[in-house]
Chains A and B, each alone.
Chain A
Amino acid sequence: MIKINDIVKIYNPKKSNEFEALHGVTCEIADGEMVAIIGKSGAGKSTLLHILACIDNFQSGEYYIDDTLVKDLSEKKYAQIRNEKIGMVMQDFALVEDFTALENVMIPLNFSKQKIKDKKQKALEALKSVGIEELAKKPCSKLSGGQKQRVAIARAIVNEPSMVLADEPTGALDTKTSAEIMELFKKLNSQGRTIIIVTHDMNVAEQCGRIIEIGDGRII
């Protein structure tokens, strides 16, 4: 369960270019939901996603993951949450280009505080679950966009996080590949994972179970 209460996010506080991106956003996302966050450019949807992904902070409000308050924690604790609770998929894939697909998928396992037996096998299973096991040894620089996004999804799920956050995951893909990637998200959701997708593509949003629309830093 993800719960956010009255989140306020201000960029460049107390400076001449101060900008309030979120004005007290409140919402709940239950375990196993597949949610799309939509809105115009600059509406605050990516800001919200970054806060949910623990890669950005906020000025006021509360953020709970599974009843744990995620605020003012140590950097170590935030890193642990990003590693164990959250899988992140970015529009431009965010892969280490000179790593192989397998090495990329192994990154979260290598940063894990848990003792993980046979990391390689686990990473291969994640690649298998997104249908690209045979590309394990291929450098990411030699993969197509769709293949790269599958690697990114495999990396997002390899540590079995409770939620997968995706920022415009189909934004850099053609229609056919986008559809394949959405099928993959739906499959992951059917396995019980919470999926939150930020998109401006209504076709993508409509495939999700719920749509949250943001406009001018507020949920509409």
Chain B
Amino acid sequence: MMLFITALKEFKRHIFMNIVTLIELAVSIILVGVITTAVTIKYKYYGPFRDVYDSNGIYCRFIYAADDFGQPEQTLLYGEQLFPYLSSPEKIVCSNVIKSFPVKDGEFINANCYSFNDELIDRYTPQIGRGRWLKPKKDELEVVVTENNKYGWKKGGYVELDDGKGGTIKAKIVGELKDKQYIAGIPSDNDGNNDFSMFVSYIDSKDTDLPMLIFSSSQLRRYGFDGDACKCALIEYPDSVSGEQLDNDMQTLNLLGSLYTTELKNVRARSIDYFMLQLSNYLPLILVILIMTFISSISIAALSARQRLRDYAIYYICGSRWKSCVLVNLFFSLIISGLAAIGAAAIYHYIPKLPKSVFATLPMTIASDMWVAISVILLIAVYILVSAAMPLIIIGRNTPKEILTGGNNK
């Protein structure tokens, strides 16, 4: 307690310098959060499928309108229905586009409707604002919808879907998808990138007012619905598959209406290149921030420890252990880093409230994920260690008696 009070007083004693350090650390926390997000945000769309990308296989993307251009009827196959046409694939991770429309008050309404196969649902969960992600094993047909949609669909409500046979099927809304997020499984048209981003789409209500609905394709089957067609797929093959077989299957997929096919090994290589590029882009910035923060924290901690040495010697004659005086600096660092973390959270919370013209120019996105938490905790831990190390050295090089007697050894 004594040492903590001293740490608090120390904070007050150099209030100006400490506030500068505090702001510096708060800004570092935000920047580290932003940079970590920039580096890792995309990884969560790659990580869940890494084993598939690491395998022999094929990425393919279909367009639903293919049959309008005279493509064969097979174009309308949903993911698993592709299997018989291919040479012994092992697994498929796929999304399907639903050709039917939702029905509201007896009228067809427009929406972007997809179904995900179980493999995709199990591997990946998008950000859900309210409610939960799909559970394909549940008996009742489930759906998730984008939040704040124009049709007023909310968690706990129901969506009616035209079954293509003159009737409708009802799906319970179990979750609301957060707006402004990337969703894996729904393809973008980033074929040129030839990386994992082909399997990811960004949803933003500003771009379209059409809500997105995602069903479980296995639940739809149980309800007798088959009006969906493969949108995109990662098809995994056993190790024994030959290059020739993959080439043949890619040709088959093209005949079945695939707009773009490529081997997964190409996707993996380009994806790793992407992550490495991100890392090399941001690493120098991270290092500069860390070095600046640490230099100032070491200086202040050293100055504070040197100024406090006599106080520590006084504690010593009153019954403290000499080395435990380092705890004052540890508490001091904890106070600074705790306040900086609160400050960083407050600043980050305030940023979205800035006028949009200002906000739009700031690339400030911090994901609330494990990587950001780890990097921020790591930054704070290193800060505390570094700022406690210098006082430890200073205290270790002095003895309380020397300090109390002004270095007189006699």
Contact = CB atoms under 8 A, between A and B. Distances in A.
A and B from one complex: yes
A111 B328 CA distance: 14
Interface string A37-49: 0000010101100
Contacts of A111: 2, 315, 318-320
A136 B314 CA distance: 19
A83 to B, nearest CB: 3
A97 to B, nearest CB: 8
Contacts of B310: 94
B311 interface: yes
Contact of B401 (A12, A56, A83, A159): A56
Interface stretch (B61-69, B84-92, B146-154, B402-410): B402-410
A82 interface: yes
Contacts of A80: 319
Contact of A107 (B2, B321, B322, B409): B2
Contacts, number: 70
A98 interface: yes
Interface string A88-100: 1010001110110
Nearest to B410: A42
B317 A88 contact: yes
B2 A11 contact: no
A96 B311 contact: yes
A94 B405 contact: no
B348 interface: no
B319 A79 contact: yes
Contacts of A155: 318
B211 interface: no
Given A75-B322, A76-B321, A12 B409 contact: yes
B1 interface: yes
A21 interface: yes
A159 B319 CA distance: 11
A110 interface: yes
Nearest to B314: A94
A23 B343 CA distance: 60
B364 to A, nearest CB: 40
B85 to A, nearest CB: 78
A99 B9 contact: yes
A82 B404 CA distance: 15
A55 B321 contact: no
B316 interface: yes
Contacts of B9: 98-99
A95 B314 contact: yes
A96 B313 CA distance: 10
B316 A82 contact: yes
A44 B410 CA distance: 7
A53 interface: yes
Contacts of A79: 316, 319-321
A96 B318 CA distance: 12
Contacts of B408: 46
6 contacts: A47-B410, A55-B401, A79-B316, A82-B319, A88-B318, A107-B2
A-B pairs with lowest CB-CB distance, top 10: A83-B319, A110-B2, A111-B319, A108-B318, A107-B318, A88-B317, A11-B409, A79-B321, A55-B401, A96-B311
